[in-house]
Structure 1
Amino acid sequence: MSVMDDVQRTAERQLDMLEDVQRTLAALTVRETGDDGRVIVDVDVSGAMTGLQLLPGAGNGRPAALADAIVRTAVRAATQAFTERAEIMAVFVDDFAELTGESMEPNGRGVRPSYREPFTEGES
């Protein structure tokens, strides 16, 4: 087995990993319900709404309450999609680094998403 065979085999595994993660992300959808199950929102991997179902009684006949229920449910769904996407990518980054023997983190600093409390004026 030559060095070129090793390089080709590694490249093929890397491509397979990239295609797998792309397929997984493309298939990621999240469904959340709100307003006691009367508002159902589906989102894709980017958090974009792909489906909305409103069952009888949603918002209790109040437009503002309905709008609030839709937005809150969509935000929960998008947050869940982002969490799942981050978990998928964390596994991919670890597996890819294991395959190549090199970290994918630039300059040794982490690039994975993390949650920070919003900054408000007057805080330091």
Structure 2
Amino acid sequence: MISELHSALRHLHARSVLHRDVKLENVLCDTRVRPPSVKLCDLGHAMSCHSMETDRNFYGTPGYAAPEVIRGPLWTFAADAWAMGVVMYALLCNALPFEEGDWKRPVDFSSRHWWKV
């Protein structure tokens, strides 16, 4: 699943497009086929990198946002990759790595949940 999500992001990024709202709710999985097909949907916040210089607004979902997006916001391909990592964590742990409201605090990876990640 993550491999197909990564392929979708690579496809967008190769065309200089940032998704800006990668989250579980925007990942569709068709289990009627084998192997299951994964699609990345909701490009409502997507934007061309060429027009990013004028856009300094926050988009997306705070629990999935990269630290630089929350601070800046600074939109880069790395921000989409961070969100994909949050999706992967959520799939593996059945929970988001950061609780609601935590997104304004510095990122801390010292809790026991991160020891084996």
Bin of the TM-score, shorter chain as denominator length: under 0.3
User: Which structure shows the higher helix fraction?
Assistant: 1
**TM-score (norm: length of structure 1):** 0.25
Larger-Rg structure: 1
User: Which structure exhibits the higher relative contact order, with contacts defined as CA atoms closer than 8 Å and separated by 6 or more residues?
Assistant: 2
User: Which structure shows the higher strand fraction?
Assistant: 1
**TM-score (norm: length of structure 2):** 0.27
